[in-house]
A and B are shown apart, each in its own frame.
Chain A
Amino acid sequence: MVNSHILPHEFEFVEPHTLEEALTCMAAYPGKAQFMAGGTDLLVQMKMGRVRPEVIVGLSKIPALRYLILDQGLRIGALTTFRQIERSELIQRRYTALYEAAMAVTSIQIKTMGTLGGNLCHGSPAADSAPPLIAFGAEVKMINGDRERVVPLETFFAGAGQTLLTQEELMVEIRVPEPRANTGSAFMKLGRVSADLAKVSVAVVIEREQDICRDCKIVLGAVAEMPLRTKEAELILRGKIFKEDLVEEASLRVSEEVRPIDDSRSTSWYRKEVSRILVRDALNLAWERAV
């Protein structure tokens, strides 16, 4: 399918200024409308003719959904951009893997338009923000009319391009718990050029108690139909003395747990091969940071 360079079909465009208005707009067009955050994914899909929403509810005029609030952890408004995240010293210090993921989001133009909520709701297995947020144990809050629900991000993804989000539902907030003391994190990504989607990405969060790995989470992107937490590998390290051979064993287990594919960006073989390397390096880096 060829990008037509134009938005080839007619649609209605509404731009609410408040969250309430946005929900009202959506309710007024049952089954026909779609929310748009930064538009960096949706507009491309529309130009390719893959989606044809009759109504677009643009969210960019709702300032109330752009925020970073420290409140027993971190609350991030769904419309917060990657640019805002990479410029937050607090995130850099306390949620390093998330900061590194925001840094790795292709170009400055995309970072300025693209939002955290949009990135997650698009449901791509390569979404840069998903691995670190899952590793930090984030939850997402979604609302639909006056109903709201909060689900762990880990369970939010439902397949390639699919999430739990229903069409009328809007993700409004991402909640990231306060990391425990002595926690370190790291994010690594391989692309073909700097401005690229991930071939493989990895986020690791480790809680350390002297030589012991009290807890760890390992989450990979672009190696399965959705972001993948490799729990068996985590088990190898949890509660153990953090040692090279265990790190190797865990990394090897990751490369057995992942289910990558061949596509235009890389091959299944290579993705398996480097998953192990990235996990090992990310584990070591996160461990060093956990002091």
Chain B
Amino acid sequence: MTRGSVENFESPAKGLKIIGKPIPRHDAWEKALGLTAYAADFSLPGMLHGKVLRSQYPSAKILSIDTSKADRLSGVRAVITAKDVPRNESVTRFGQTHTVGGGFEGLYRVLADKKVHYLGEAVALVAAETEEIAKKTLELIQVEYEPLPGVFDPIEAMKPDAPPVQEGRPNIITHYEVVKGDVEQGFADAEVIVENTYRVPFVDHAYLEPESGVGWIDESGVITIRVSTQVIEHFRGVADVLNLPHNRVRVMGTYVGGGFGGKEDITVEAFLALLTFKTGRPVKLTYTREESILSHSKRHPYVMSYKTGAKKDGRLTALKAQLVSDAGAYVYLSPWVLLYSMVDAAGPYRIPHVKVDGYTVLTNNTFTSANRGFGAPQVCFAYESQMDELAAQTGLAPHHVRMINYLEKGEALATGQVLDHHVGLKEATEKVLDALREGSPAAGKMKTGKGIASGMTSYGRMVFLHDTSRSHVSIEMDGSVTIRAGVQDIGGGQASSLCQITAEVLGVPLEDIKIYIADTALTPLAGTTTATRQLYMSGNATLIAAREVRKVLIKKAGEILGIDPVKLDLADREVIDKEGTGKGLSLKEVVRACASDGLPLYHVALFKAPFRNVAQFERIEGQVFPDFTFGTHGAQVAIDEETGQIHVLKLISSFDVGRAINRLSVEGQIEGGAIYAMGYALTEEVVLDKGVTRTPSFSEYLLPTSMDVPELTTLLIESGDGVGPFGAKGVGEPSVCSVAPAIANAVYDAIGVRIYDLPLTPEKIVKALKKVKDR
């Protein structure tokens, strides 16, 4: 059961025909009917099947690799090891336009060479006529390992005598700090202090579609990869691996069956390129579920020590935190994720004195990288648990402690970044409290409780990355409209939103628009579908492009009609006189007139986010992000104290979304985010035991299914004050941020016991209750 409502600030939808409406996405039917060709649904004649041989040890020397038996197997077309890769190692900037330093660059190694650093690291690639032969081939490759000691705990790995995970570099990848005021003075000022250590686990993205793609060489010799990805711009990295010019590799993104950050880093692309290059044949490679869980990135586990001080009336005086994240065996996006955590670590609160230290550390665990929320949900679990602990200590209501401390527009974060757009936390929390008031009664011996938590999550990339996006809008001779934009559509309605924006500006119905997306050869590059940036970046680029086309059309129509163009509007495939004189022209007529005058009926727009360089990274200061999305979650739970079973009865999400471009998409994102994070709160954990994954399939790694989904309520606020098109803010990642602490706070409300480690399992609840009883 789902419910929703929208609060409009200043009737933002006024005059808008398509923006803000709950419109089914242009691709909804084909997906519902199973017609969408996802990456693995695509095949080519003569296609081979690829497989990856993976390390059986989390830390070992590779003494030798013997592929002779594998090479001789009938049906095998390629066996590739590190020595066959033209450029096996490169320092990657992970899609940045320039080198920024601060630990942001890391090693990308295609295949393990001499050493393996985590269980599941790729050691060899094969391509064969069938998937069965490919699998058999893997069994015939003989790798001789010498196991080495590893380090599996980030705190251990920080010690000077810990074995180095990667040769020639310390295990600590980076240390950042945030300093505001004098934190010791802040604690001296405090009347109440709470101090706790929180732990959050490794989490899998668990997309329904595992990593997959097909590679081939086109008729002009270009290596072409059709792949499920959030970042088509890995074409450059793929070209570098093969030592080819960048314009000789083409990446086409498919509709993605779930990304959640897991398809932000390169997955199968380089493997496909190598196998295709070697065999000259098309090759398909799809990871199995176990392979995906074992070998690809996870959400960072964090150990977070928090100390928060406040006056008896609830006003915060100080916050001190130490964050340690487990980067796994390779750097990937760990420094970035940590930086997000640093900026968000004190939460959306006014705190005079703040000190945060953060470390991200290499271990011999599965590598960690982007996962929906990107460092924000981890710290939110800590700072929002702390807020409820403060409420308990001061005897104040949890919402009260938040309300009096929320930052407002014009105030600054601990980093000094001024919030120059609306901060909708008060409205969001009020809405959640209203919705929580209609509680469900406790059933039987169950105890019920309610909790809230607020959060902040940035949208748009860090300003020092100099982010840009491009979009091409053109109008055809019959008045139909084409968009070309290199956006990856990962199920969030990325493509559909651009169609809506363009339809609004050009006054045509949605069905008149055709969009081409995600092709490095044919669509202008729009950057990554990550960081909740596509609506903001490509939405703005598309808005600019559509407006430029509109300008040309209106100007020409003004000339023909003899009316001042400012009095003209585009609506229902016509140019109309806003003053209602009845004069007008069909869009088609205007387009033809423009064409015959040689006027441009297209525009390629470039949208640039604010750029700001960072002098140094050790201490994080000033503006890091373009803007933030703020919101509050509410949860009602019922708990069986004897078995520890937690039933989430209700999840309420309220966000200032700036402007809902498509209400259905926005609500869908927020509901999806709530369930995604409910799994984080209650059941999901990739268990690693000395680097060995104990939860390699969905039999062990437990996701909530439709049967576990509680009543969901989504309450939108539209301040119109975001930096996206029409004042929109991003919601994709913010929607997960504060779910886990809201549930943890509801658990505390129900049974008076706090769990400091996610997930909140029945085992932990029963144990904690027993401890209280025994005391």
Q: Check: A278 CB closer than 8 A to any chain B CB.
A: yes
Chain B interface SS verdict (over half): loop
**Mind listing 24 A-B residue pairs with CB under 8 Å?**
A2-B290, A2-B696, A3-B288, A4-B135, A5-B131, A5-B289, A6-B135, A8-B135, A107-B707, A190-B643, A190-B645, A192-B702, A192-B761, A193-B704, A195-B705, A196-B702, A197-B699, A264-B694, A264-B695, A266-B763, A270-B763, A270-B766, A274-B643, A274-B766
Q: Check: B636 CB closer than 8 A to any chain A CB.
A: no
Nearest-CB distance from B698 to chain A (Å)? 9
Q: Check: A46 CB closer than 8 A to any chain B CB.
A: no
Q: Check: B762 CB closer than 8 A to any chain A CB.
A: yes
Chain A residues contacting B644 (CB-CB under 8 Å) are 270, 274
State A265–B697 Cα separation when bound (angstroms).
13
CB nearest to A196 among chain B residues: B702
A interface residue numbers (CB < 8 A to B): 2-6, 8-9, 107, 190, 192-197, 264-267, 269-270, 273-274, 277-278
Given A2-B294, A193-B704, A193-B705, 6 more pairs with CB closer than 8 A: A2-B696, A6-B131, A192-B683, A193-B707, A265-B700, A270-B644
State A269–B762 Cα separation when bound (angstroms).
12
Q: Check: B638 CB closer than 8 A to any chain A CB.
A: no
Q: Find out whether the CB atom of B705 lies under 8 angstroms from the CB atom of A194.
A: yes
Chain A residues contacting B700 (CB-CB under 8 Å) are 264-265
Nearest-CB distance from A73 to chain B (Å)? 32
Chain A residues contacting B707 (CB-CB under 8 Å) are 107, 193-195
Q: Find out whether the CB atom of B683 lies under 8 angstroms from the CB atom of A193.
A: yes
Q: Find out whether the CB atom of B642 lies under 8 angstroms from the CB atom of A277.
A: yes
Q: Find out whether the CB atom of A190 lies under 8 angstroms from the CB atom of B762.
A: yes
CB nearest to B286 among chain A residues: A5
State A139–B595 Cα separation when bound (angstroms).
84
Chain B residues contacting A270 (CB-CB under 8 Å) are 644, 762-763, 766
CB nearest to A2 among chain B residues: B290
Q: Number of residue pairs across A and B with beta carbons under 8 Å? A: 65
State A196–B766 Cα separation when bound (angstroms).
20
For window 655-704 of chain B, which residues contact chain A by CB distance below 8 Å?
A: 683, 687, 694-697, 699-700, 702-704
**3 nearest interchain CB pairs?**
A194-B707, A5-B288, A2-B290
- Residue-by-residue, is B63-88 near A (CB-CB < 8 Å gives 1, otherwise 0)? 00000000000000000000000000
Nearest-CB distance from A2 to chain B (Å)? 4
Name the one of B288, B643, B683 contacting A4, with C-beta atoms under 8 angstroms. Answer: B288
Nearest-CB distance from B340 to chain A (Å)? 29
Chain A residues contacting B132 (CB-CB under 8 Å) are 6, 8-9
Chain B residues contacting A196 (CB-CB under 8 Å) are 702
Q: Find out whether the CB atom of B135 lies under 8 angstroms from the CB atom of A107.
A: no
What's the tally of chain B residues with a CB closer than 8 Å to chain A?
32
CB nearest to B699 among chain A residues: A197
Chain B residues contacting A190 (CB-CB under 8 Å) are 643, 645, 762
CB nearest to A194 among chain B residues: B707
Q: Find out whether the CB atom of A273 lies under 8 angstroms from the CB atom of B766.
A: yes
Known: A193-B703, A196-B702. A277 touches B694 (CB 8 A): no
Q: Find out whether the CB atom of A2 lies under 8 angstroms from the CB atom of B288.
A: yes
Chain A residues contacting B643 (CB-CB under 8 Å) are 190, 274, 277-278
Chain A residues contacting B642 (CB-CB under 8 Å) are 274, 277
Q: Find out whether the CB atom of B290 lies under 8 angstroms from the CB atom of A3.
A: yes
Nearest-CB distance from A273 to chain B (Å)? 6
Nearest-CB distance from B602 to chain A (Å)? 44
Chain B residues contacting A194 (CB-CB under 8 Å) are 705, 707-708
Chain A residues contacting B708 (CB-CB under 8 Å) are 193-194
State A107–B766 Cα separation when bound (angstroms).
27
Chain B residues contacting A277 (CB-CB under 8 Å) are 642-643
Chain A residues contacting B294 (CB-CB under 8 Å) are 2
State A245–B704 Cα separation when bound (angstroms).
38
Chain B residues contacting A3 (CB-CB under 8 Å) are 288-290, 697
Q: Check: B291 CB closer than 8 A to any chain A CB.
A: yes
CB nearest to A274 among chain B residues: B643
CB nearest to A44 among chain B residues: B699
State A195–B705 Cα separation when bound (angstroms).
7
Chain B residues contacting A267 (CB-CB under 8 Å) are 763
For window 271-288 of chain B, which residues contact chain A by CB distance below 8 Å?
A: 286, 288
Q: Find out whether the CB atom of A2 lies under 8 angstroms from the CB atom of B291.
A: yes
State A197–B766 Cα separation when bound (angstroms).
20
Chain B residues contacting A273 (CB-CB under 8 Å) are 766
Name the one of B687, B705, B763, B766 contacting A264, with C-beta atoms under 8 angstroms. Answer: B687
Of listed A4, A6, A192, A193, residue having the most chain B CB within 10 A: A192
State A193–B290 Cα separation when bound (angstroms).
20
- Residue-by-residue, is B698-721 near A (CB-CB < 8 Å gives 1, otherwise 0)? 011011110110000000000000
Of listed B291, B645, B702, residue having the most chain A CB within 10 A: B702
Nearest-CB distance from B610 to chain A (Å)? 43
State A264–B763 Cα separation when bound (angstroms).
12
State A5–B131 Cα separation when bound (angstroms).
10
CB nearest to B295 among chain A residues: A2
State A194–B699 Cα separation when bound (angstroms).
12
Chain A residues contacting B704 (CB-CB under 8 Å) are 193
Nearest-CB distance from B568 to chain A (Å)? 56
Nearest-CB distance from B676 to chain A (Å)? 14
Nearest-CB distance from B446 to chain A (Å)? 12
Nearest-CB distance from A175 to chain B (Å)? 32
CB nearest to A199 among chain B residues: B762
State A57–B707 Cα separation when bound (angstroms).
34
For window 32-91 of chain B, which residues contact chain A by CB distance below 8 Å?
A: none
State A270–B766 Cα separation when bound (angstroms).
8
Chain A residues contacting B288 (CB-CB under 8 Å) are 2-5
CB nearest to A277 among chain B residues: B642
Q: Find out whether the CB atom of A193 lies under 8 angstroms from the CB atom of B766.
A: no
Chain A residues contacting B695 (CB-CB under 8 Å) are 264
Chain A residues contacting B286 (CB-CB under 8 Å) are 5
- Residue-by-residue, is B756-772 near A (CB-CB < 8 Å gives 1, otherwise 0)? 00000111001000000
Of listed A3, A9, A267, residue having the most chain B CB within 10 A: A3
CB nearest to A271 among chain B residues: B763
State A265–B763 Cα separation when bound (angstroms).
10
State A278–B762 Cα separation when bound (angstroms).
14
Chain A residues contacting B131 (CB-CB under 8 Å) are 5-6
State A6–B683 Cα separation when bound (angstroms).
28
Chain A residues contacting B694 (CB-CB under 8 Å) are 264
State A196–B708 Cα separation when bound (angstroms).
11
CB nearest to B642 among chain A residues: A277
State A4–B294 Cα separation when bound (angstroms).
13
Chain B residues contacting A193 (CB-CB under 8 Å) are 683, 702-705, 707-708
Chain A residues contacting B291 (CB-CB under 8 Å) are 2
State A4–B131 Cα separation when bound (angstroms).
10
State A111–B290 Cα separation when bound (angstroms).
24
Q: Find out whether the CB atom of A107 lies under 8 angstroms from the CB atom of B705.
A: yes
